[in-house]
């Protein structure tokens, strides 16, 4: 796999150089994404960690549009939790990727921001802490969109193999197909936790996966509410540690109702079934019953500014927990040079 990715990177570099040689730069611009967060988690259940996540993420970037479809984007994320000290997070992460986009396809390769691409992936698949602690997808992303269908495939490389670190990566699938008021959503994920290069350590390869299919109805146009959706589906999880135990499955049912009116919304999610063993999913799903109730208010929504407060209540057999989160995102950008047609 590593040799394949190395060759793929070389091919990608050659193609980009060819494109840049053939076409003059058509447009140069910049963008800034500011994300502030205050997430207080008063968790009392097993497998969950009570903590407060409080800080900012600033992501300036510049883009070079070769034509209407091809562009190169570069920049960085500066992510800092408040209360800085030597053990506190002080993280710089590069933004550097190639993107091809037309009416149907969106392809990207490199270090690309996660939010716009994976913000709708359910928490049972990927925990929302990824948006705080790992703002990039490091790998590839491909989506197809046409006539009510949107399907995306992504590879997120979490760790390169070394003497002290395992090779770890995620391969995911997420999509939605809408027909009138009816829609179907699908999500799938494979997490592969391989070995280090240290042969003296007794290690075992770990594989975890999940497949989820949901069907829903959008009643928004049939009520006085701005939004009203109800969906229900099934979840099948997979777990294996090679040479330790064979493939295990965990099955369950999940249902979600969402309603919104003006600046307020309510969302409720219920899971019933086998406990899921998903290292990258929300830890509340490590139990056979779970209910999450979100009460939301959007005090700021104007142009590129979006501020949101959510009070969450978690109900599980081993106790009830609560959470209060306020997030604010402001994005802007502009062209700074554009080639004029002669």
Q: What's the pLDDT score for residue 5?
A: 46
Q: What's the pLDDT score for residue 60?
A: 97
Q: What is the DSSP letter of 222?
A: G
In terms of Cα–Cα distance, which of 112, 65, 58 is closest to 332?
Answer: 58
Euclidean distance between CA atoms 81 and 95, whole angstroms: 20
Q: What's the pLDDT score for residue 46?
A: 87
Q: What's the pLDDT score for residue 227?
A: 96
Q: Left (φ > 0), alpha (ψ -120 to 50) or beta: where does 87 sit?
A: alpha
Residue 66 CB neighbours (<10 A): 19
Each of the 342 residues of the chain gets a pLDDT tens digit; together they read 545 445 545 545 444 545 444 444 588 999 999 999 999 999 998 889 999 999 999 999 999 998 889 999 999 999 988 988 877 766 899 999 999 999 999 999 999 999 999 999 999 999 999 999 899 999 999 999 999 999 999 999 999 999 999 999 999 999 999 999 999 999 999 999 999 998 878 889 999 999 999 999 999 989 999 999 999 999 999 999 988 888 999 999 999 999 999 999 999 999 999 999 989 999 999 999 999 999 999 998 988 999 999 999 999 999 999 999 999 999 999 988 887 655
Q: What are the sequence ranges of the domains in the chain?
A: 25-329
Q: What is the CA radius of gyration of the chain?
A: 22
Q: What's the pLDDT score for residue 172?
A: 97
Q: What's the pLDDT score for residue 21?
A: 47
Exposure letters 82-116 (e unless 16+ CB within 10 A, then b): eeeeeeeeeeebebbbbbeeeeeebbbbbbbbbbe
Q: Domain spanning 25-329: which CATH class is it, in words?
A: mainly beta
Report the percentage of the chain scoring pLDDT > 70. 91
Residue with the two structure tokens 């042969």: 199
Convert the pLDDT of each residue in 211-226 to its tens digit: 999 999 999 989 999 9
Task: Count Cβ atoms within 10 A of the Cβ of residue 340 and give its class: 0-12 exposed, 13-18 middle, 19 or more buried.
Answer: exposed
Q: Answer yes or no: are the C-beta atoms of 3 and 11 closer than 8 Å.
A: no
């Amino acid at each position: 796999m590593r040799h394949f990715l190395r060759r793929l990177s070389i091919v990608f570099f050659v193609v980009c150089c060819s494109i840049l040689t053939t076409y003059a730069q058509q447009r140069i611009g910049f963008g800034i994404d500011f994300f502030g967060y205050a997430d207080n988690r008063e968790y009392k259940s097993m497998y969950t960690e009570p903590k407060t996540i409080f800080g900012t993420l600033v992501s300036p970037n510049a883009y070079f549009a070769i034509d209407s479809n091809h562009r190169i984007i570069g920049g960085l994320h500066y992510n800092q939790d408040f209360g800085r000290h030597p053990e506190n997070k002080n993280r710089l992460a590069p933004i550097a990727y190639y993107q091809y986009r037309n009416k149907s396809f969106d392809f990207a390769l490199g270090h690309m921001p996660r939010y716009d691409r994976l913000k709708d992936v359910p928490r049972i698949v990927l925990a929302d802490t990824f948006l705080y602690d790992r703002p990039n997808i490091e790998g590839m992303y491909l989506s197809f969109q046409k006539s009510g269908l949107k399907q995306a495939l992504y590879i997120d490389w979490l760790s390169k193999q070394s003497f002290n670190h395992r090779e770890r990566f995620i391969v995911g699938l997420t999509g939605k197909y809408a027909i009138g008021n009816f829609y179907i959503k699908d999500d799938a994920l494979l997490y592969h936790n391989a070995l280090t290069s240290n042969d003296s350590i007794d290690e075992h390869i770990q594989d975890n996966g999940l497949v989820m299919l949901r069907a829903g109805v959008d009643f928004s146009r049939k009520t006085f509410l701005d939004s009203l959706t109800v969906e229900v589906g099934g979840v099948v999880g997979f777990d294996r540690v090679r040479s330790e135990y064979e493939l295990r499955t965990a099955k369950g049912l999940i249902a979600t109702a969402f309603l919104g009116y003006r600046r307020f919304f309510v969302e409720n999610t219920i899971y019933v079934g086998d406990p899921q063993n998903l290292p990258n999913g929300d830890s509340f799903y490590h139990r056979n019953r779970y209910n999450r109730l979100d009460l939301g208010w959007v005090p700021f929504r104007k142009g590129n500014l979006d501020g949101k407060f959510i009070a969450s209540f978690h109900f599980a057999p081993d106790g009830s927990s609560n959470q209060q989160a306020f997030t604010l995102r402001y994005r802007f950008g502009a062209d700074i040079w554009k080639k004029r047609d002669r």
